[in-house]
Amino acid sequence: MKVEAKTCHEQTHRPLFTWTRMWAVLVLAGLLGGLSLSGSSSAGELMAPPRVHTPPGAADSADEPLGPFPGVVAPEGTYEGKNVEQPIEFPHDLHADTNKINCLYCHTYARRSAVAGIPPTSKCMGCHNVIATDRPRIKKLTEYWEKGESPPWKKVHDLPDYVRFTHERHLKKFLFDNPDMSVERVDEVCALCHGNVKKMTVARKQKPLTMGFCTRCHEANDGPFDCQKCHK
C-alpha cells in the first residue's frame, strides 16, 4: 500500500486487507493518532470533535460570506466565535457599512506589515474630536485619550506563536496584484479570513483559522506549500 500525505486535508481511506487486519489497523491508528496530537490531554477528549467547528454552510445568516471575487477560491470552513467583551463596544457595522469607511483607513498597517494593527487612539480621536462626542462610547474613548492611554482591546483573531502569517503578502496577492480588484473592495479580501465584519459590531471570529483552513486555501489558490513559509 502506498500512503501519500501530500496535503493535510487529503484523506486516504481504502479497504486494504482482511477485516481482521483492518480492525487492528483502525484501532491502532486511532490510538496512535490521538496520542500524537498532544501528550497532556486524555485520548477521549482529543478524539471529540473540535469545540465549535461547524461544517461549511452552517453559518448564521448575519454572517453570510461575501460573494467570491475574481481571482480567488474562497477557503472553506466557518467558526462560531464567542462574543468578546471589549473595553468599548466598537461598532464595525456603523463605520464600515453605514459610513462606508474603507477597512484600510483604520487598519492601515495591513498593507505594509505582518499585522493589520489596531488603529492608534489618535486616529479615533481625529474624527471623534468633533463627531458624536455626546455618545457614551465616545465619552469613554475621550476619557482614555485624556488620560493618555489607549483602550486595552482584547485580541479576537490570534495565531499561535509558531505561525508566521503576514497580512501584507495576502493583500498583495488578492488585492494589489489582482487586476480585477480595486482597493474599494478590500472588505471582500478581509472577509476571506475574518468573515463579514461589516455586519458585526464588535468583531467576532468567523473562520476557524486552523492549519487545515490555511492549507485548503493555499492549495486552491496556488499558495506556497513549504513548511517553513509559515513555520519560520
Please, which of residues 164-203 interact with another protein by CB under 8 A?
none
Please say which residue, 25 or 94, places its beta carbon nearer to another protein.
Answer: 25
Does 12 help bind another protein (rule: CB under 8 A)? yes
Does 127 help bind another protein (rule: CB under 8 A)? no
- Segment interacting with another protein (CB under 8 A) among 56-64, 88-96, 145-153, 179-187: 145-153
Backbone angles phi and psi of 90, in degrees to 5: -75, 125
Does 223 help bind another protein (rule: CB under 8 A)? no
Does 33 help bind another protein (rule: CB under 8 A)? yes
Does 43 help bind another protein (rule: CB under 8 A)? no
Residues 6+ apart with CB under 8 A from 60: 80
Does 54 help bind another protein (rule: CB under 8 A)? no
Of 52, 110, 55, the C-alpha closest to 81 is: 52
Which H or E run includes 123? helix 121-128
CB-based contact 198:93 (threshold 8 Å):
yes
DSSP code, position 174: I
Q: Which grid cell sits at 48?
A: 471529540
Residue from 186, 215, 217, 230 that binds another protein (CB under 8 A)? 215
Please, which of residues 66-105 interact with another protein by CB under 8 A?
77, 79, 81-82, 84-85
CA gap 54, 35 in Å, rounded: 24
Does 152 help bind another protein (rule: CB under 8 A)? yes
CA gap 126, 130 in Å, rounded: 8
Does 112 help bind another protein (rule: CB under 8 A)? yes
CA gap 166, 174 in Å, rounded: 13
CA gap 150, 98 in Å, rounded: 25
**Residues making contact with another protein (CB under 8 A):** 1, 3, 5, 8-12, 16, 20-21, 24-25, 28-34, 36-37, 50-51, 53, 77, 79, 81-82, 84-85, 109, 112-115, 117-122, 145, 148-161, 204-205, 208-213, 215
